[in-house]
Amino acid sequence: MSAPVGNGVLGRGPFFWAGMALMTMGVIVALGMTGAVEQKPLLLLMLLVPLSLMVPLFVAASRRADASGQGCGKGAAQARYIRRVILFAELYLIAVAAMTYFTKTVETQGVVRVVLALLPGFAIVGVLWAIGRLIVEESDEFMRMLVIRQTLVATAVALCGASIWGFLEAADIVPHLDAYWVVVAWFAGLGAGAVANRIQFGAWGAV
Amino acid sequence: MKNRLKVLRAERDWSQQDLAEQLGVSRQSVNAIETGRYDPSLPLAFRIAGLFALPIEQIFEPEEDVAGRD
């Protein structure tokens, strides 16, 4: 069945935008891992591309949720979740841009430096909070179960990845990765969890 | 768990969306229950039974291996 008019962004659905975000994220990870790009600020700035792609992803997902909700209550919690994620993703973009700009152009020290470094992390905490609220607020037990399954898969992916990478790093086999990559792995795990949901239950869960 | 949800819905000429709206759940939930991929909680099973005005056991029945344990 073709997508209804108004479903998606630029004629593309959420999975197209999710694919684009994952692909660009993969390219950036590859550039960082291979040493093609060594400057961390530049890598962080490049992360703005996949994160910017999250905006059309969530807008498309929101439109799809609205289109399929049709008053049966399905879209309400997910719509709030999407709005919250868009808000914190935008705050993250601003925080990373501010941190990168000020650390590159101004000699930041002390409290200012700490605050600038904390802001992006707090924005990511906001996204994690939004996922937690989705689990609390979702009144549809099946959809809630799908989201919980996604977070369990994501946690497994992130913790397994961190454990294996940590010991490989300790043995000087792989390069050092900053701790926030655990969160990146967790978000990738959410995608894997959605695929697992689709295979087992015929529905994706939350984007 | 097996169920007769699809038959009962068809008898009333309801779509999955119609049933979902009356139950206050998503269409995906109805689909997952109908296809046996998801067993509803007891409260939701009672809501379904109430909607069709039938006892739960006339809508849902355990798989044979589970029923045989008693």
* H-state helical runs in B24-63: 27-34, 42-52
Q: Are residues A26 and A78 in the same domain?
A: yes
Arithmetic mean of pLDDT over chain B = 91
Closest CA to A21 of A60, A52, A50: A50
Please spell the DSSP secondary structure of A139-167, one letter per residue.
--HHHHHHHHHHHHHHHHHHHHHHHHHHH
Domains and CATH numbers, chain B: 2-57 (1.10.260.40)
Nearest Cβ partner of B32 from A68, A72, A142? Answer: A142
Of A72, A200, A201, the CB nearest to B25: A72
A107 falls within a domain: yes
In A, minimum Cα distance to B36 occurs at: A201
> Phi, psi (5° rounding) for residue B3?
-150, 165
A-chain residues near B28 (CB < 8 A): 74, 142-143, 202-203
Q: Are A135 and A78 in contact (CB under 8 A)?
A: no
Looking at chain B, which runs of residues are DSSP E strands? 2-3, 60-61
ipTM field: 0.89
CA dist., res. A21 & res. A157, Å (int): 18
A54/A107 same-domain check = yes
Domain coverage including residue A107: 11-115
Tokens, residue A200: 């087992």
Q: Are residues A40 and A95 in the same domain?
A: yes
Same domain flag for A146 and A105? no
pLDDT for A58: 73
Cα A202–Cα A140–Cα A11 angle in degrees, nearest 5: 55
Q: Do A142 and B33 touch (CB under 8 A)?
A: yes
Closest CB to B24 among A68, A72, A145: A72
CB neighbour burial string for A93-104, b if at least 16 within 10 angstroms, e if fewer:
bebbeebbeebe
Q: Is the pLDDT of residue B56 over 60?
A: yes
Please judge whether B32 and A201 are an interchain contact, meaning their C-beta atoms are less than 8 angstroms apart: yes
Residues of B in contact with A202 (CB under 8 A): 28, 31-32, 35, 37
For residue B59, pLDDT over 50 is answered with yes
* Residue-wise pLDDT tens digits, A86-121: 899 889 888 887 887 787 777 777 888 889 889 999
Q: State residue A55's pLDDT score.
A: 77
pLDDT in 10s for each residue of chain A, 207 residues: 344 445 677 888 878 888 888 888 888 878 877 888 877 777 777 877 887 887 787 777 767 766 654 434 447 898 899 889 989 988 988 888 788 778 777 777 788 888 988 999 999 999 999 999 999 999 999 999 999 999 999 999 999 999 999 999 999 999 999 999 999 999 999 999 999 999 999 888 876
Contacts of A194 in chain B (CB under 8 A): none
Q: Does residue A133 lie within any of the structural domains? A: no
Residue A2 within any structural domain of the chain: no
- The three-class DSSP label of residue B61 is strand
Query: Could you identify the residue written with the tokens 């999955």?
Result: B16
Cα B16 to Cα A124: distance, rounded to the nearest angstrom:
37
Residue of A195, A168, A194, A139 whose CA lies nearest to B47: A139
The pLDDT value recorded for residue A6 is 52
Encoded amino acid at B18, one letter: D
Question: CA torsion angle for B28, B30, B32, B36 (degrees, to 10)?
Answer: -170
Residues A22 and A64 in one domain: yes
Alpha carbon distance A27, A188 (integer Å): 14
Q: Cβ of B30: how many Cβ atoms within 10 Å?
A: 28
Q: How many domains does chain A have?
A: 2
Token couple for A199: 């295979």
For the four alpha carbons of B27, B31, B32 and B33, in that order, the dihedral sign comes to positive
pLDDT at B8: 97
